[in-house]
Structure formats: structure tokens, C-alpha cells
Structure 1
Amino acid sequence: MSNENTAKLAVLIDADNAQASIVEHLLAEVAKYGTAHAKRAYGDWTGTALKGWKAQLLEHSIQPMQQFAYTTGKNATDAAMVIDAMDLLYTGRFDGFCLVSSDSDFTRLASRIRESGLTVYGFGERKTPRAFVAACDKFIYTENLTPIAHAVALAEPVEPGQLDAAMAGLLHSVLEAASGDDGWAHLGEVGNQIRKRKPDFDPRTYGFPKLMPLLEANGQFEVVKRDHGEGNPPVAYARTRR
């Protein structure tokens, strides 16, 4: 895959299964990983159910993909999105896909795209089934994209830096695996390994914009910055506190 900053991405949105209100924040998040060379939203645009989406399509230059509901209870939108995704995949013009839905029906699509060597970024609500989350290289919960939605999504407030036992255990394991002989691990490599093990890990879930301040605020870890020669920016390292 190309460098993330120059990656050509296809953004495919299941409008039947995503909120129009998150589009601006969604595209800002997508821009962190590359450039959206294709932006498509799928649904039945002849009805009233997607009324809130129509203004967002125009403002953000998202192409509406019309899909009639042929019969009650069957989601024709999903099938149309999968077919389009495969067509785009076979063009060879993209480095990755952004699949926007909370629907587990896209699990196999995500796996198939990854099998072709492309990166898959998933976007969905916290209710998204684990199978779809795990099928993506990285999964971003849309509640984390806006502070208000994030606050509402949390059933219980999370104190800054507070980690559940499973997440703390994962961080300890990753730091151990990524550490050098001196016990310190390059923070960039730590982030890469966490993403591979837990695609939906996001420091914003715990009240921090990045991994480093999350670790700094938690008493179980130490973080330092080291200089690597004149003209080079300091590099962050972390380890389990001893």
C-alpha cells in the first residue's frame, strides 16, 4: 500500500445505516489516511428516509448511488455497495477502502479487499458487530468523531487515562513485544502493533486525542522523548513502569 498520506481511497457509505450528521467529521478523519478519490453513498434516494443526507451529498461532493428496495425486508443497498466495491477494486486505482456502516453484512467484503493487499478502514457505531470490526485493518467508531456523540455513547464516564483490565493487558503485552534490549518501545511501533491486534483501539475512547498522552496519564506506563541528531524531531518511547 502507498504511504498513508498519499493513499488513494474509495469511500463507500451505506446511507441506510449511517447518520448524515457525521459526514463532515467522517471525511476529516478519512483525510488522515489518504485522499478520497471516490465518495459514494448508497440508498433509495426517491423516498423520504434519507432526506437528511441530500444536503450533505451536495456540500461534500458525494455521489448518490440509487438503489430501489425491490422487496420488503431485503437490503438491496448492501448488495449494490458490495458490487460497486468489487468493480472499484478491480480497476487497480485505489490503495484502500473506507466502508461506512454498522452492518455485519460487509464483513466478507472487508476481508476480500484485504486479501487483495489493500487497506480497509471501517467506520460505524459502537453497536457494530465484532466480526466486521475485526475484518478491517482499522475501525473507527463514529461516536469518537464528535465530542457530543462521544459523551452520549459512553454508558459510564471514563476518567482520563482509565483503562479496563483487558486494554491495560493489551498495552503491557504490546510494549513487551515491541521493546528493545533496554526495555523501551518506539511509540510508533506500539501503535502499529495495537492496531493489528485490536482494529478498533482509539485513544479518543479514553478521553485523549493520541496514544502518548493516554500512556502519560496512566500510572502503569512511562513515556520519554529522545533526540536523534540535529534536525530530527524527538522520538517518543514507552515502557511498563517498573
Structure 2
Amino acid sequence: MDTTKKLAVLIDADNAQPSIIDALLSEVANYGTSSVKRIYGDWTSPSLRGWKEVLLDHSIQPMQQFAYTKGKNATDSAMIIDAMDLLYSDAFDGFCIVSSDSDFTKLASRIRESGLAVYGFGEKKTPSPFVAACDKFIYTEVLRASVDDDPNISPKTSQELKQDTKLVTSLRKAVDASSDESGWAQLGPVGSHINNQASNFDPRNYGYTKLGELVKAIKLFEVEERPIGNGRSKAVYLRAKTTRSRNTSKNANS
């Protein structure tokens, strides 16, 4: 990942929890530098008190938007207008949109049409069109788990992973698309292929920190570590297990 990218981080205060801010900004740092950090809401509302307590510590600029009409989300409109102004400034390489609101679907699509990356952050209830409109979408439950040690994000067993048809299909297709003539595929391209097909793919959704850990846990692939260059670092390669290799594994475990 290119962590030198200049990113604009825009937070919908009505649709995000202040308890995740440390984990959120740490995650954003994996994709680039937070050159602009803005959060939108009606700061006269008591419901945003929790956010007020963390803004100064993280140098996040609060953007005031009064709720002029009950039932209308003026915050979304203000955030979208600001995003377009920032887009036209040509000063950024990407945007981080923090919200679970589907109203930002068109915004994400428009930013990507301009050739910039969009990283979305929202709860698992986020509508699929918004998730799909982003280059990468990270569920905030994963970030919250890193803060609260949420037991619901505990690692899934091999059997549970194998029963996830969508996961198994995605892994198999990615390995097949990235493999050489012998069937071996390097882990990096496999991960890139999956992310290109599903913006919300994240090993942490299954309780694993890295893709390599998830692949080993599912036990559907042979895994090899091969030295690179002078041998100080290694690359991970995968290959789908054949019937013969599965039988060998069973005999070894019996």
C-alpha cells in the first residue's frame, strides 16, 4: 500500500461511534496520510457529546450543520458538497467516507470516476450499494473489536470457514486466476484479486488478522513459504489441495 497518498477523511457524526476513532485513524494510516479530517453534524445536539470529547485530541475539524427540517438529513448534503469541493481542488489522492448511510453511494462512485480511491467505513448494516461503490470497505465492528475485544469476532474454525460458500468460492477463484502453470499462486496477487471482486473482503471479518492466517485456517490449500532475494524475507504461495494431497493429510493425521 502507498501510505504517502493524501487522503480526505470525512465523518458522518450521526452514523459513526466516537469509541472507534483511534482504531479508525490507525486503519486510515494503512492507506495514506489524513491531510484533512472533518466531521459533520449538528453540534448543538446532545447526542454528539461523545464526539466533542475526542475532536481536539485527534485534530478533527467539526463542521456545523443545523437540522433545518425534521426528517431531512442536512448533514449528508453538507458532507457531499464539501467532498465535491475537495475533489475539484485536485489536492487529494483518495477519500475516506465514514458512514453507514446509503446516501453516499453516488458520491463514492463519482469520486472513483475521477480516478481517486474511496475507502468506506461503516457498520455491517451498511447497504450493499454503498459498500460496492467503494474500492475498499471496512466494517467498523472489526475496529470496535480491536478496542473492546468483541467475542463475536473470534476466529472461525476450519469447518465454519468451509461452510461459507462465498468465501470458499472467492478464494478458489482468486488462486486460480493468480496461479502459474503448476497451480501455485503468490499470496499478494490472490489478496488483490479478491479485493477487486469484493470491496468488503477482510480477513478480520472471520477473526483473522492476515489473509495468510485465514488461508491456513480454512485448510483447503497447500501453503509454502519461499525465500526472496538474499533469503531474509519470504513470499507465501498457495495451491489448491488435490485429492491425493488431501488423502495424504488425512493419513498423516490418523
- TM-score, normalising length: structure 1: 0.94
What SS class does the counterpart of residue 6 from structure 1 fall into?
coil
Quickly say closer, same or farther: Cα 1:125–1:176, change in 2 above 3 A.
Answer: same
User: Quick one: distance in 2 between partners of 1:109 and 1:71?
Assistant: 23
Q: Is the 8 A contact 2:19 2:144 kept in 1?
A: no
What SS class does the counterpart of residue 56 from structure 1 fall into?
helix
> Cα offset for 1:228?
2.6
> Cα offset for 1:151?
3.2
User: Quick one: distance in 1 between partners of 2:126 and 2:184?
Assistant: 35
The amino acid of 1:93's aligned partner reads A
User: Quick one: distance in 2 between partners of 1:12 and 1:188?
Assistant: 29
Runs of 4+ aligned structure 1 residues displaced above 6 Å come to: none
Quickly say closer, same or farther: Cα 1:208–1:83, change in 2 above 3 A.
Answer: same
Quickly say closer, same or farther: Cα 1:223–1:231, change in 2 above 3 A.
Answer: closer
What SS class does the counterpart of residue 121 from structure 1 fall into?
strand
- Point out where structure 2 has 5 or more consecutive residues left out of the alignment: 243-254
Q: Which range moved further: 170-179 or 229-238?
A: 229-238
Q: Which has the higher helix share?
A: 2
The amino acid of 1:226's aligned partner reads R
> Cα offset for 1:71?
0.3
User: Quick one: distance in 2 between partners of 1:130 and 1:151?
Assistant: 24
Match runs of 1:37-116 below 5 Å: 37-116=35-114
> Cα offset for 1:159?
2.2
> Cα offset for 1:207?
1.2
User: Quick one: distance in 1 between partners of 2:167 and 2:148?
Assistant: 22
User: Quick one: distance in 1 between partners of 2:122 and 2:21?
Assistant: 12
User: Quick one: distance in 1 between partners of 2:120 and 2:190?
Assistant: 21
> Cα offset for 1:232?
5.7
Q: Is the 8 A contact 2:155 2:208 kept in 1?
A: no
Q: Deviations over 1:22-76 (max 9, x none)?
A: 1111001001111100000000011211011001111100000000001000000
CA-atom RMSD, angstroms? 1.6
User: Quick one: distance in 2 between partners of 1:4 and 1:160?
Assistant: 33
Match runs of 1:79-228 below 5 Å: 79-147=77-145, 151=150, 159-161=156-158, 162-163=160-161, 164-228=164-228
Q: Deviations over 1:140-173 (max 9, x none)?
A: 000011326673656xx76244321111111101
Q: Does 1:16 align with 2:21?
A: no
Q: Deviations over 1:84-111 (max 9, x none)?
A: 0000011111111000000000000000
Quickly say closer, same or farther: Cα 1:114–1:93, change in 2 above 3 A.
Answer: same
- TM-score, normalising length: structure 2: 0.89
> Cα offset for 1:237?
1.2
